[in-house]
Every structure is written in C-alpha cells, then in structure tokens.
C-alpha cells in the first residue's frame, strides 16, 4: 500500500475524483451516489499490536485514526482533538470492558463492551463527538461554517445535538415528529439551550421529517443562506472512530485464537467497523450480526437475499431500518467498484441485490447472523439479568442472544450500544420494571431544565421561516 493511501478517498462506485479526508468529511456523498472508502487500509503486524495493547484509549485512537486523516490536521493536533471529543465521557477510557458474571459461555469468556458512557448514553456518541470536533476544527481552518440539518425518529437527534452544541463553527437544526417521540427523547434535545441549537417539532410523522430534510438539502444554500450538511451514518469519519474500540477490546481479550464480536445491527455502521478492524490486523474471529425483525441483513447473509421490505416497529427501535445504508461498503469490500456500481443500480431499480457467489461465501465466513423478534429480545433481556446479573437495553440484548447462540471456546465481546435507562418501556415489558428507577431520575433532572422548541408544518416555507427567525449563527 502507498504510504498515504488510507487518507485518499474514492467512491465505492468508482466515479468522480479522489479526495482527501477533509473533503470526504464535509461532503460525505460522492457525486456518483456511492460512499467514500479509503484507497487502502493501514495494517498493524504482530509487533505493533503488542505495542498498541499497552496504550490508553486516547493513545490508541490516535494511532488508529492518524493514517485516515493524513494532513487534514497539523502534526500533533489529533491528540488534542481526541481529548476534546471525549472529555464529556463518564470514563477516561471512553468505553468500558467487563466480564459477565460467571464469565464463560461454552468455555469461552463472555464480555460486555460498554459503548454508552457518552453524553446521550448511546454508542453513537463515540463517533459523533469526534465527528463534531473534527468538523469544527477543519471548518475553522478553512474560515467556514456549516448548518447541520438532521431528522430523527427519537434516538439519534440528541447525539447529533450533543456533538454540535459546543462547536463554534456549527449550527444544528433537528426535525422530529411532533408528539410522536417519548418525553425523555424530546427533553434530551429540547433542554439544550445553546444559541446554535434549534429543535423543530414537525406536524407529521418521521417520513414527513425525512422528506422535509431531503427537500431542504436539495435546495441547499438557497434555502437558508447557510451551507448545509447532514451527519447521518454514512460519514466515513464515524466508521473510522468506531474501529478504535474493536482494537481496544480485541487486544485485551485475545488469548491467541482471536475474538468474536456480537453486534446489534441496523445501518451496518458499527459492524462494518469490525470488518475494517479485522482487515487492519486485529485477530477478529467471527462477527456475530444480530438484527431485530427488520432482517434485511440477516436475509442477505443466510440466503443472499438483500431485498427491501417495509420497515416494522420493534422493541429495539434504533435498528428499525428497511435498508442498511452502509451495506454498500461491504459490497465494495467483497467485490470491486465496477461490480458495486452495477449491483447498486440494479438494487435501485428492483429493490433486490444478490452478491456474486464467491463474495457471498466470503461474507458467510466473516459473519454469523441471527434475527430476533420482540419476544426473543425481551427474553434475552431477562436472561441477561438472571444468568449474568446485568440489565441490558433491547439492542444489546439482541447481541447477547446472538453470542449465546453462537458461542465457541474463544472470547466474545458483546457490544453494548445503549444504557438500559433509555428504554424503560422495554424493561417493563421484559418484567424488569424494578430497574427503571434510573430512567425516572434522569427524566426528573431533564424536567428541571425547561424546554425550547418550535412546532412547524411539514413544508419548506415553514422550515425557512423557523430558521430565519432563529438564533442560529448568521441566519437570524
């Protein structure tokens, strides 16, 4: 690999120019409709892994991420960016790795990798806090600003707000469906009082919010006078940030035979970072992919049937998707740009994608997949409590179920993606109602802070007016 190949980005579909990290960060969608991937990945050999093993989380993050950033930051600046990004986390080590009581599963130790110690109690903070800090830093060098526009069905909006609120070069406006998210979800967003944050309750459902977002992004700067962008899960910087915790846990757990990772999956972002970690030299054995009833990825892996169906509500709502927006990166990883372009064009046309046979066989080696309906998830929540004494959120419970089903004699890390206090309704449904006290306390704290949001109609005029009348930088 050429020394700087990891910091040169190209579309998965092969079109357009090569670009650098800053360009891929600011314009995450290449002109041909694909997704950016680096031309090459850094690789860490046995001696280097030994050295990485001894590093703190932040030092490790610097080593893993530096090759992807290239010269978008001045030498030595990355360490400061990482320290700022993660200073709001509960633990200095950002994530927490702990053995589950009893510690063994078919002889192999079972561990929980807790990724939810950031400001909104969900794993998305790990990637979004770094994304916000990087954006702020790079925009400041370029003397620019961005208005982040995003739509949420409840859970991800607060992670985006927390990522932007302290950034001088960013404003953020979040669209959410009025009266269709929980009070906790709403207050997590609307209790933030900074001038660069605007919460908009849209009279309509989540689809109306997404359509409005799409229409607004299509109009771009003409709509608001500000350069717009979104921070959805396709931004390469988010995936790069997630590779770090695979190394962190994998290096600590490996006993020479490699480590399995069980991952609750929706848009295929988190688990794709595990694919990258394996390719970068981490001894990854199997990636145990767990879906809820929205099982497009499970169908793709067991039957080579990646076909779009209607999304269904589930007890693990952050995995409720009809298509997995990062799956295209796996297609590219297993094939090439030309094949990816052809398969994605076919998928856009027919809603069906089948991998070439050899690529599908490779995918079956990388992953063991499983699908869990609401009952299976609630049951796994109960088992977590009964067998290991841990209270899990429904997403993590799906991954625990996958680990229990697969379990071999090697260590397995179950990726814990949300704090259970965020999903108290599921706790009650699983018969774990006695563990909702923390959720109640957190809600009471939020209630003390008051709220700030505006209700708008689901059309561009209303959005434009709300943005124009707001305190967002340079708009009001």
Ligand X SMILES: *Cc1c(COP(=O)(O)O)cnc(C)c1O
Active site residues: 124
Give least dist CB 201 to ligand X, A: 21
Which residues, other chains included, contact 314 with Cβ-Cβ below 8 Å and sequence gap of 6+?
292, 293, 294, 320, 373, 374, 377
- Nearest residue (CB) to ligand X, 171 versus 328: 328
Q: Is there a contact between 374 and 387 (Cβ–Cβ < 8 Å)?
A: no
Nearest distance in Å: CB 113, ligand X: 13
By beta-carbon proximity to ligand X, the closer residue of 129 and 224 is: 129
Residue 324 or 463 having the CB closest to ligand X: 324
DSSP state of 318: G
Q: Which is nearer to ligand X, 60 or 126 (CB)?
A: 126
**What whole-number distance in Å separates Cα of residue 191 and Cα of residue 42?**
41
134 by DSSP, 3-state: which?
Answer: helix
Q: Shortest Cβ distance from residue 125 to ligand X (Å)?
A: 10
Helix axes 327-334 and 269-279, enclosed angle (nearest 10): 30
CB of residue 442 to ligand X, shortest distance in Å = 16
Measured from the CB atom, the residue of 124 and 169 that comes closer to ligand X is 124
CB of 82 to ligand X, least distance (A): 21
User: Minimum Å distance from CB 322 to ligand X?
Assistant: 13
Determine how β-strand 146-151 pairs with β-strand 228-229. Answer: parallel
Q: Which is nearer to ligand X, 70 or 266 (CB)?
A: 266
- Tally of helices (H runs) and strands (E runs) in the chain: 20, 16
250: tokens are: 């994998």
Q: Measured from the CB of residue 131, what is the shortest distance to ligand X in angstroms?
A: 14
Tell me the closest approach of the beta carbon of residue 254 to ligand X, in angstroms. 24
Query: Which chain residues interact with ligand X by CB under 6 A?
Result: 122, 124, 155, 233, 264-270, 318-319, 395, 417-418
Q: What are phi and psi of 104, to 5 degrees?
A: -125, 150
Q: Cα–chain-centroid distance for residue 363?
A: 21
Nearest CA to 152 among 188, 101, 193? Answer: 188
Tally the C-alpha atoms within 13 A of residue 316's C-alpha that lie toward its C-beta: 35
Distance of closest approach, residue 320 Cβ to ligand X, in angstroms: 10
Torsion angle in degrees (nearest 10) through CA of 95, 282, 327, 63: 60
Which of 72/414 has CB closer to ligand X? 414
Q: Which is nearer to ligand X, 139 or 319 (CB)?
A: 319
- Which residue, 321 or 341, is less far from ligand X as judged by CB? 321
């Amino acid at each position: 690999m050429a020394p700087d190949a990891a910091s040169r980005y190209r579309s998965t579909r092969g079109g357009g120019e090569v670009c650098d990290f800053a360009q891929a960060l600011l314009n995450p969608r290449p002109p041909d409709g694909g997704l950016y991937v680096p031309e090459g990945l850094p690789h860490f050999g046995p001696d280097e892994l030994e050295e990485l093993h001894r590093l703190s989380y932040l030092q490790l993050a610097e080593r893993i991420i530096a090759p992807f950033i290239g010269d978008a930051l001045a030498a030595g600046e990355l360490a400061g960016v990482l320290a700022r990004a993660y200073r709001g986390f509960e633990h200095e080590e950002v994530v927490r790795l702990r053995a589950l009581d009893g510690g063994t599963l078919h002889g192999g130790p079972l561990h929980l990798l807790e990724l939810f110690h950031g400001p909104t109690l969900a794993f998305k903070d790990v990637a979004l806090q770094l994304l916000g800090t990087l954006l702020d830093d790079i925009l400041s060098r370029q003397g620019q600003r961005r208005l982040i526009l995003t739509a949420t069905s409840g859970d991800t909006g607060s992670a985006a707000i927390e990522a932007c609120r302290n950034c001088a070069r960013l404003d953020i406006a979040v669209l959410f469906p009025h009266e269709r998210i929980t009070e906790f979800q709403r207050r997590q967003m609307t209790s933030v009082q900074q001038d660069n944050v605007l919460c908009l309750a849209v009279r309509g459902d989540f689809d109306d919010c997404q359509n409005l977002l799409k229409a607004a992004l299509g109009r771009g700067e003409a709509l608001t006078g500000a350069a717009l962008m979104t921070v959805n899960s396709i931004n390469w910087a988010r995936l790069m940030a997630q590779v770090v915790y695979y190394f962190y846990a994998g290096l600590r757990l490996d006993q020479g035979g490699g480590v399995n990772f069980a991952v609750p999956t929706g848009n295929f972002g988190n688990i794709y970072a595990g694919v990258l970690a394996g390719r970068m030299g981490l001894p990854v054995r199997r990636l145990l992919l767990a879906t809820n009833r929205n099982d497009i990825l499970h169908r793709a892996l067991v039957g080579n049937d990646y076909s779009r169906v209607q999304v269904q509500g589930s007890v693990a709502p952050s995995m409720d998707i009809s298509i997995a927006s990062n799956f295209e990166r796996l297609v590219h990883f297993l094939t090439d740009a030309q094949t990816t372009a052809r398969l994605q064009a076919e998928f856009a046309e027919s809603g069906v994608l089948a991998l070439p046979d050899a690529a599908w066989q490779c995918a079956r080696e990388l992953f063991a997949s499983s699908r869990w309906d609401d009952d299976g998830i609630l049951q796994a929540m109960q088992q977590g409590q009964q067998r290991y004494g841990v209270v899990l959120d429904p997403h993590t419970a799906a991954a625990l179920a996958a680990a229990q089903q697969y379990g071999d004699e090697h260590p397995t890390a179950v990726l814990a993606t949300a704090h259970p206090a965020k999903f108290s309704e599921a706790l009650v449904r699983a018969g774990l109602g006695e563990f909702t006290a923390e959720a109640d306390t957190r809600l009471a704290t939020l209630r003390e802070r008051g709220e700030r949001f505006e209700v708008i109609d689901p059309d561009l005029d209303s959005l434009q007016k709300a943005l124009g009348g707001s305190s967002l930088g340079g708009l009001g």
